[in-house]
Structure 1
Amino acid sequence: MASPLRVGIVGCGNISGIYFQNLGKYKSTQVIACSDLDMARAQEAAAKYAVPYALSTKELLTHSEVDLILNLTIPNAHASVALAAVEAGKHVYNEKPLTISFDDGKQLIEKAMSKGVRVGCAPDTFMGAGIQTCRKLIDEGAIGEPIACEAHMQCHGHESWHPSPEFYYHQGGGPMLDMGPYYITALVNLMGSIKRVAGISRATFPTRTITSQPKNGAVIEVETPTHITGSIEFASGSIGMVVQSFDVWHGDVAPLIVHGSEGSLLVGDPNQFGDLVRIRSKGDSTWNSVPFEHGF
């Protein structure tokens, strides 16, 4: 790949700011261009972050100076934008989820392989010091043989704070595709590959009322499940429980827990790079904090 890697950002919405900021910190990356369905928003981002070009998405995808497309569009557009980028011979990094269907994801990977380009996808938080310290502890046998795990994300959705929360309740949204990738990615890193899954879901509330600005009072028709529970069987024989919900007002449970034959490990929030890690061996009376010892 080129150095610096020249990046074109598609989608200048709420999450884009942290990407513009972080990519500008490294000599190995340079944001060359950005685009958005709202050209004014693309132009505003280009001016704010000193990006040379604010373009239409079609122009950006075929721009000769762009090596990689950073796809920050809404989930329902991830597949179409990524496929168009791959067709144009560009590498792609998608925000999660990679796509909203297995078939679309399979098509994207196969097309990238045929074109000789690479595809990546968020999240990368599993590479942070918190989860990697947990991985080191598990590998060293600190909790014995992993036998079970739990993953909990419970809140009442994003309409109270996000400026444009509609897509969270439309096809491609919901807690499993929005927040689930953080939890499932962390579990696969810690527990290994998955053999099979089972689950059940529902949309508890048929509508959501936005209380954030600038759309305060607008009503969203819910089109996707908003409370999902699932069971995982890992290839190792370990089992896991997953709860992902936009329907819960309050909860008091650890985000990620790994149970072993000799103790348990509180992994912390997988949406962070370095949340608190705690361990409790079978003979301990309290949880003990663990300093970060390993990570990227």
Structure 2
Amino acid sequence: MGSTHGIGVVGLGVIFAQYRETLVGQSDVALVAVADLDEARAHEVAATIPGCRALRVAELMADPAVDTVLNLTIPAAHAEVALAALAVGTNVYGEKPLAATFEQAQQIMAASGQAWVGGAPDTVLGTGIQTARQIVDSGRIGRPLAATATWVAPGHEAWHPNPDFYYREGGGPLMDMGPYYLTSLVHLLGPVESVSGTSSRSRDTRIIASGPRAGQEIPVEVDTYVTGTLRHEGGAISTVVFSFDSVATHAAPIEVHGQTGSIAVPDPNMFEGDVQVQMLGAAEWQTVAPSAGYGGAGRGIGLIDHVRTGADRASGALALHVLEIMTGLLRSARENCSFPLTTTVQRPAFVPLTPASDWR
């Protein structure tokens, strides 16, 4: 891939700031170009990053300095941008989900050829999820039998100034937050073979609460409460809940239960957090020191990890599998049936404990 891996960013919205913090200043990767529908914004951003140029999307795709297109557009545009990059043989790393629909995601993977496709979330490579993974792999809690994953909130219109896309196809609590939790479950327990889901929609409109559009009503086109069960290929069963119709939860974001112990797993939307274990017969939970994962990581570590190690810990194949889990849950809910998955994926490689000083 060369001594310096050139990254061209398409889409400079809210999430870009987090990627920028991780990627700028690295010795072996560089933000060499940016593009946005707002060309003025692209020029403003490029002016603050040494060696970075503001280009139009087509120019960025054709630029030989761009080794990987970092696709940070809204979900509805993920497939269009990814396919355009792959058409010229350029690697793609995209925000989640891989595409707005499973069919579009299949097209992306089919078009990849010799190019690499990767995708968020890479929060699972931090010390939180990877420490929990190390505990599972060590056999400390015995054979894993089950897991729960819960994410609930009133809805993103409470804080996001332009929340429209969260309530359109490709959005909703499952498609937005599900990738963090479901990707974590695959890291922890392996791929999923079948799903069964139920879903509902509490109301048909939402009111934006902040920003210049505060008070504006927007339509809701997706279900906003999704629950279901996943049967993992290894036999474990996970129960999941994703909601834009709830106030809060008191449960751990993810819990993994084995024959001899249980693990309380921290927020998979974050890279770090306390992992706790309670063993059979013990009276209390015990906090476990970080034992695996990238310390001090931020969004973009999955791309850095691939560039440096060649590993596929944040692969397009994993993102495709997770997307089928999500669309399978929604299809199961519509058709009132269990849905067998057509995809599978190798459980991603374990991340050894890597302090921030060793990767930054």
Q: Is TM-score (shorter-chain normalized) higher than 0.5?
A: yes
Q: Can you list the C-alpha shifts for 1:227-256, whole angstroms capped at 9, x where unaligned?
A: 110110011111110001111122211100
Q: Which residue of 2 aligns with 1:29?
A: 29
The list of structure 1 runs, each at least 4 consecutive aligned residues, that deviate by more than 2 angstroms after superposition, is 47-52
Q: Which residue of 2 aligns with 1:47?
A: 47
Q: Can you list the C-alpha shifts for 1:91-137, whole angstroms capped at 9, x where unaligned?
A: 00000001122221111111112xx1100000111111111111111
Please list, as runs of the form range in 1=range in 2, the aligned pairs for 1:201-280 lying within 5 A after superposition: 201-280=199-278
Secondary structure (helix, strand or coil) at the match of 2:250 reads coil
Between 239-248 and 199-208, the greater mean CA deviation after superposition? 199-208
Supply the AA of the counterpart residue of 1:218: Q
Supply the AA of the counterpart residue of 1:82: A
Please list, as runs of the form range in 1=range in 2, the aligned pairs for 1:83-102 lying within 5 A after superposition: 83-102=83-102
Please list, as runs of the form range in 1=range in 2, the aligned pairs for 1:1-296 lying within 5 A after superposition: 1-50=1-50, 52-113=52-113, 116-296=114-294
Supply the AA of the counterpart residue of 2:91: H
Secondary structure (helix, strand or coil) at the match of 2:165 reads helix
> Are residues 158 and 49 of structure 1, via their aligned partners in 2, closer, same or farther at CA, if it must alter by over 3 Å?
farther
Quote the RMSD (CA, aligned, Å): 1.2
Any gaps of 5 or more consecutive residues in structure 1?
Answer: none
CA distance in 1 between counterparts of 2:246 and 2:13 reads 26
CA distance in 2 between counterparts of 1:217 and 1:13 reads 22
CA distance in 2 between counterparts of 1:39 and 1:201 reads 40
TM (norm. structure 1) is: 0.96
CA contact (8 A) 1:21 1:49 kept: no
Any gaps of 5 or more consecutive residues in structure 2?
Answer: 295-360
CA distance in 2 between counterparts of 1:18 and 1:268 reads 20
Q: CA deviation at 1:6?
A: 0.5
Supply the AA of the counterpart residue of 1:155: A
> Are residues 250 and 3 of structure 1, via their aligned partners in 2, closer, same or farther at CA, if it must alter by over 3 Å?
same
Percentage of pairs with the same residue: 45
Q: CA deviation at 1:50?
A: 3.8
Between 9-18 and 198-207, the greater mean CA deviation after superposition? 198-207
